Amino acid sequence: MENKIYIKDNKLVIEVPLKTNRSNPYDENYFAEMDNIVGLVCEEEKGFAYRIDREYKDKDDDVSDFFYIFDGNEEKFSKLCKELNIRVLNISKI
């Protein structure tokens, strides 16, 4: 699914799908649903990143760089992610 980008009420709106489908180049009929977005905490930065499917390689999923940096503390960010039902990955502790 493609992102939609437009202006509404003098604000830039970027719609990003919360879910996407996994794919497997070795099984063209496999399309399991997965989360597309993850909340990411990395040292002092917090924000949203894309989840990258690696299941077809029998590996854990990866994450992209931030596509949105959250301007607030970690507690507020975690609360927002909980309200939005978005999983938070803290790579500061890895």
Q: Please check whether residue 11 lies inside any domain of the structure.
A: no
Q: Please check whether residue 52 lies inside any domain of the structure.
A: yes
List CB contacts of 42: < 8 A, sequence separation 6 or more: 90, 91, 92
Q: Please check whether residue 49 lies inside any domain of the structure.
A: yes
Q: Please check whether residue 77 lies inside any domain of the structure.
A: yes
> How far apart, in whole angstroms, are the C-alpha atoms of residue 80 and residue 78?
5
Q: pLDDT, tens digit, for every residue of 5-52?
A: 999 999 999 999 999 999 888 888 888 899 999 999 998 999 999 999
- If one counts the domains in the chain, the total is 1
Q: Is 67 within 8 Å of 48 (Cβ atoms)?
A: yes
> How far apart, in whole angstroms, are the C-alpha atoms of residue 51 and residue 31?
15
Q: Please check whether residue 42 lies inside any domain of the structure.
A: yes
**Paired residues of 24 in beta bridges:** 27
Q: Give the global pTM.
A: 0.85
The residue range of the domain holding 45 is 19-93
Q: Please check whether residue 5 lies inside any domain of the structure.
A: no
